[in-house]
């Protein structure tokens, strides 16, 4: 897939509005943008899930809530409770940040339990696991993919977009190789142009998390 049309690319995009200073009005505007573009999902903070759910009701566009965001340092039971709550408010997908320190230390039992707690709380709602790959080496990224697969995650995801670096071709290829065959890949962080998005999809990404959706789609054929 060397090129992707605007509509095809939009269907792979999670339109993200995650800055802590975004108001309700700005989230509603973001939902209107997601509707106009035909995105897969609208990604918001937990406090804005209900706002987005009302705006997108009946549209087919999912509300994607982050959990344990952006550091992943919250206790597993708190992440699980947060996931359960946002689902009752209308979230149709969960993007959770794993315990990054546990991954760095190689405590994969804790990483699995952390993810599994959210997967259990989410029930049938897909869970994406954010690794913040800029803090991990290749071996740790591969191990995190295996842990997420074993814990029942639907996706593995590169980044929050709030740390040092975002998605890279190398990391996407490594994640595709290391995750289970039924686990999908989400690239996020530092994706600014159409060419960036296409390169990541060609490397194996199924979904793209971006805030510069209009800019990216403007470069599509």
Rounded to 10 degrees, the C-alpha dihedral 141/104/123/94 comes to -80
Using CB atoms within 10 Å of the CB of residue 14, give its burial: 0 to 12 exposed, 13 to 18 middle, 19+ buried. buried
The encoded tokens of residue 91 equal 């979230």
Q: Collapsing DSSP states into helix, strand and coil, what is residue 152?
A: coil
CB contact at 8 A, 179 and 145 = yes
105 vs 119: CA distance, rounded Å: 23
Alpha-carbon 36 to chain mean position: 21
DSSP-assigned letters across all residues of 69-129: TTT--S-HHHHHHHHHHHHHHT-SEEEEEP-HHHHHHT-HHHHHHHHHHHHHHHTTS-EEE
The encoded tokens of residue 164 equal 């040092």
Q: Collapsing DSSP states into helix, strand and coil, what is residue 133?
A: helix
Active-site residue set: 95, 157, 186
32 vs 158: CA distance, rounded Å: 26
Residue of 9, 97, 95 whose CA lies nearest to 49: 95
């Amino acid at each position: 897939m060397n090129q992707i049309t605007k509509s095809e690319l939009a269907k792979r995009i999670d339109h993200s509005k995650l800055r802590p200073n975004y108001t309700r009005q700005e989230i509603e505007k973001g939902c209107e943008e997601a509707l106009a573009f035909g995105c897969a999902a609208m990604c918001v903070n937990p406090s804005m899930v209900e706002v987005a759910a009302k705006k997108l009701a009946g549209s087919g566009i999912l509300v994607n809530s982050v959990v344990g965001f952006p550091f992943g340092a919250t206790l597993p039971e708190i992440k699980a409770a947060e996931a359960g709550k946002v689902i009752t408010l209308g979230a149709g997908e969960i993007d959770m940040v794993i315990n990054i320190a546990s991954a760095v230390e190689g405590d994969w039992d804790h990483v699995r339990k952390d993810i599994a707690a959210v997967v259990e709380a989410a029930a049938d709602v897909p869970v994406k696991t954010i690794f913040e790959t800029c803090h991990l080496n290749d071996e740790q990224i591969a191990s995190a993919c295996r842990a997420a697969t074993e814990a029942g995650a639907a996706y593995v995801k590169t980044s929050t977009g709030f740390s040092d670096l975002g998605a890279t071709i190398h990391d996407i290829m490594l994640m595709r190789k290391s995750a289970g065959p039924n686990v999908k890949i989400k690239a996020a962080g530092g994706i600014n142009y159409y060419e960036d998005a296409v390169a990541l999809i060609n490397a194996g990404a199924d979904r793209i998390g971006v805030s510069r959706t209009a800019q990216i789609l403007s470069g599509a054929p």
